Structure 1
Amino acid sequence: MQDDNKRYVERDRNWHPPAYAPGYKTTVARSPNQALVSLQRPSVSELSGPDFRALRMGPHDNDLLMNYREGQGQDALPIGERVIMFGRVVDQYGKPVPHTLVEMWQANAGGRYRHKKDAYLAPLDPNFGGVGRCLTDDDGWYRFRTIKPGPYPWPNGINTWRPAHIHVSVMGPSISTRLITQMYFEGDPLIPICPIVQTINDPDAVETMIGRLDMARSRPMDCLAYRFDLVVRGELQTYFENQ
């Protein structure tokens, strides 16, 4: 039996930028103001659950083309490039994580979120809510159908823009493995010049956040597919900014 103290591979904090980065203004309030405490022996609550298998899912929870309607008619669809986002959730040892909750949220095709504090001038899409969820299957696979989000200006700079991206939250096998990250799209020229991406010193870390075009999973005359695998916890975990 594996010893509890060795159940998780220690995270390499050199992989991440400093928590306090004044150029990224939200870190000023979010960064810890006291020294971090290392927990040598995880508690039972950190090593277990929750179990999502009993969670009731709607028929279109993972289909953002169908799960929101404010426009005219039931056949109205969101505006934008249709895409499939899919991948596999695995643990630090490469084993699949079945029946775990994957949630996502994003801007619409114009780069605007359905949020009361989003003041970007792009219009809201009456047929696009921008949120979805699903459970991984027995082999750790998840899948969403959605619209490719648009880039949007980032107010920390004079003319800085965020690349198209989709935010993702995945719980993993336990509370302590929850990961919140985002998927960028392969080939986006805004990725290397994004001021948030530039806080990442290791180019390999950036690569863990890029969804790869998968023509085999794309649907002819319908939509492209992007594969985005998620590694929860450990030295190979999917990176997320300002960890």
Structure 2
Amino acid sequence: MSSFGTNRPSGPREGDYYQRDLTLHPPAFTPIYKTSVTRSPQKALLSLEQGIGEITGPVFTADDLGPLDNDLILNYAKTGEPIGERIIVYGRVLDENGRGVPHTLVEFWQANAGGRYRHKKDTYLAPIDPNFGGCGRCLTDENGYYSFRTIKPGPYPWRNYVNSWRPAHIHFSIFGRSFTQRLITQMYFEGDPLIDVCPIVKTIPDPEAVKRLIAPLDLRATVPLDCRAYKFDIVLRGRRSTLFENRLEGN
């Protein structure tokens, strides 16, 4: 008999997480994604039991956020608003049982409308937008919902092979209830023709997993004459978990 009694609900107890299905995720060694050749592990990965440090934190509150952290249109503006298509990104952070994960920190960062990051190592020819910082954060509400405003990022070339381009995308970091649920991923935009030819996306073996990285346009959530909206739900673990930014060891 389980020490939790016969009336214990089915499924994992609080603090336990389902094993991820690694067959849905990219192999660590994928030559089409050039840098994976040198970054992929040379030895078998280790499986570690969950310790108290992995299942009990971290904890964030609204006091950790600034008033404009979830508004990338305004949080870096100095002489006016940034250039580009104004959009809203919203969705829900879910656990492996489809339940909303409340009060979890969601961080996001991206290139500007021209496809350039505000980073000293980004040397793409597109100009820096003086009114766009490209990063922000928010907390999910009691039902796991989040939202933020931003400028739709542009695609950009990268030094993979000749004429390689990254689709427009936004990076996400989600902490969940504990470090064991931690997820770092990317969101793409519905209808972008570069998704199908991106070397990073092509490393994902499951077409359904690729679809879970693509945010559909949601005209019902738009602000007329202002912002279009894209919906992006995020699943932290389980068989339908959102991919961990092309890193097998993370997911």
Superposition TM-score tier, normalisation by shorter sequence: over 0.9
Residue type of the alignment partner of 2:32: G
- Indicate yes or no: 2:240 matched with 1:236: yes
Higher mean C-alpha deviation, range 27-36 or range 44-53: 27-36
Aligned residue for 2:197?
193
2:40 to 4, 12, 31: 31
Per the TM alignment, residue 3 of structure 1 is displaced from its structure 2 partner at its CA by 5.9
Per the TM alignment, residue 54 of structure 1 is displaced from its structure 2 partner at its CA by 5.7
Unaligned runs of 5+ in 2: 5-10
TM-score by length of structure 2 reads 0.90
Please provide the CA RMSD for this pair: 1.7
TM-score by length of structure 1 reads 0.93
Deviations 1:12-40 (A, max 9, x none): 1110111122332332343222211223x
Asked if the contact 2:190–2:217 (Cα under 8 Å) also holds between the matched residues in 1, the reply is: yes
- Indicate yes or no: 2:86 matched with 1:86: no
Counterparts of 1:1-243 in structure 2 under 5 Å? 1=4, 7-39=16-48, 41-53=49-61, 55-70=63-78, 72=79, 76-240=80-244, 241-243=246-248
Per the TM alignment, residue 160 of structure 1 is displaced from its structure 2 partner at its CA by 1.7
CA separation in 2, counterparts of 1:100 and 1:7? 17
Task: Rate the CA distance shift 1:134–1:187 in 2: closer, same or farther, 3 A.
Answer: same
Higher mean C-alpha deviation, range 207-216 or range 45-54: 45-54
Residue type of the alignment partner of 1:36: L
Asked if the contact 1:5–1:42 (Cα under 8 Å) also holds between the matched residues in 2, the reply is: no
Asked if the contact 1:80–1:147 (Cα under 8 Å) also holds between the matched residues in 2, the reply is: yes
CA separation in 2, counterparts of 1:222 and 1:5? 42
3-state SS, counterpart of residue 216 of structure 1: helix
Residue type of the alignment partner of 1:60: L
Unaligned runs of 5+ in 1: none
Asked if the contact 2:34–2:161 (Cα under 8 Å) also holds between the matched residues in 1, the reply is: no
Deviations 1:186-236 (A, max 9, x none): 111111111111111211010110011111111100011000000001111
3-state SS, counterpart of residue 213 of structure 1: coil
Asked if the contact 1:80–1:109 (Cα under 8 Å) also holds between the matched residues in 2, the reply is: yes
Residue type of the alignment partner of 1:242: R
Per the TM alignment, residue 142 of structure 1 is displaced from its structure 2 partner at its CA by 0.6
CA separation in 1, counterparts of 2:47 and 2:118? 38
Q: Sequence identity, in percent?
A: 61
Q: Name the count of aligned residue pairs.
A: 238
- Extract structure 1 runs of 4+ deviating beyond 3 A: 1-6
CA separation in 2, counterparts of 1:212 and 1:135? 22
Asked if the contact 1:27–1:242 (Cα under 8 Å) also holds between the matched residues in 2, the reply is: no
